[in-house]
Structure 1
Amino acid sequence: MASAETKNFSSPDETREFKGKGRAEFLTVNGRPVSKGTFEPGWKWSVNLRPIAQTDSCQVEHLGYVISGRMRVVMDDGTQFEVGPDDLFALPPGHDAEVVGDETCVLVDFGQVGQYATPPAS
């Protein structure tokens, strides 16, 4: 049986800065990474994370909950949708995303975020 474990994002295990306009803070709980992303107005995956990920679109699977702000997601097939406060979302690999409006978007991601905002392995 796994043991109980608590952590707090005020003391993250790791912080990964985007190429401007935000960061992702990570906690590992019972061996599973969880991130809290802070995406500032003007942030766009293809501008601020593509240089880090070195892929044409985001290849991370996300399972997230939006705390504040709004984000627009554009799938590789052209499908678009927005998420905002109190929205829970599941997002497969193959997308771009951008902050909508002038409010910072903050969300918690329980998806496959272990390698999010890191360069590809050599």
Structure 2
Amino acid sequence: MPGLVRKSLDSPEETRPFEDGKGQLQLVNLEEGAVGRATFLPGWRWSEHVKPIAKTESCQASHMGYFVSGRMKVVMDDGEEMEYGPGDFATMAPGHDAWVLGDEACVVIDWQGFADYAKP
């Protein structure tokens, strides 16, 4: 294993678009796993723009990430809900829906749940 590794989300190794042009996921792959930056545009909702790709009833990814900008509401299958915004660190268990709040893009860096996210 090299002592130093440098990768950039500005030059991702993979880009996965969301349905209807409502954003994208950019990924770099590290030995420890994938790290992604997702840009969710206003009007984005998991159940409308990723569910057709994932083909599951709710998001089954387990997320650990940091909110750079914008706001998002997440609702678990059991009804628990929370809003996230800039500067928030989040963990989310599998089994949730989520959507962008307001008219600003929501940008999230995730180092746990994006390896298979929005992957057909």
Alignment TM class, shorter chain as reference: over 0.9
SS at match of 2:47: helix
1:97 is aligned to 98
Which residue identity lines up with residue 60 of structure 2 in the other structure? Q
The more displaced of 71-80 and 30-39 is 30-39
State whether structure 2 residue 86 is matched by structure 1 residue 85. Answer: yes
- 1:36-79 CA-partner distances (Å, limit 9, x unpaired): 00000000000000000000000000001000000000000011
Which residue identity lines up with residue 49 of structure 2 in the other structure? N
The more displaced of 23-32 and 1-10 is 1-10
Aligned partners of 2:33 and 2:112 also within 8 Å: no
Aligned partners of 1:69 and 1:105 also within 8 Å: yes
CA RMSD of aligned residues (A): 1.1
Q: TM-score, normalised by structure 1?
A: 0.93
Q: Which aligned runs of 4 or more in structure 1 are off by greater than 2 angstroms?
A: none
Aligned partners of 2:38 and 2:107 also within 8 Å: yes
1:43 is aligned to 44
Give me the identity figure in percent.
48
Could you list the runs of 5+ residues in structure 1 that have no partner in the other structure? Answer: none
Aligned partners of 2:71 and 2:106 also within 8 Å: yes
Q: TM-score, normalised by structure 2?
A: 0.95
Could you list the runs of 5+ residues in structure 2 that have no partner in the other structure? Answer: none
SS at match of 1:5: coil
Q: Distance in 2 between matches of 1:3 and 1:75?
A: 40
Q: Distance in 1 between matches of 2:12 and 2:66?
A: 18
SS at match of 1:97: strand
Q: Distance in 1 between matches of 2:84 and 2:112?
A: 16
How far apart are residue 2 of structure 1 and its match?
Answer: 5.1
How far apart are residue 31 of structure 1 and its match?
Answer: 4.4
Aligned partners of 1:6 and 1:29 also within 8 Å: no
How far apart are residue 30 of structure 1 and its match?
Answer: 2.4
The count of aligned residue pairs is 119
State whether structure 2 residue 57 is matched by structure 1 residue 56. Answer: yes
The within-5 A match list for 1:26-41 is 26-41=27-42
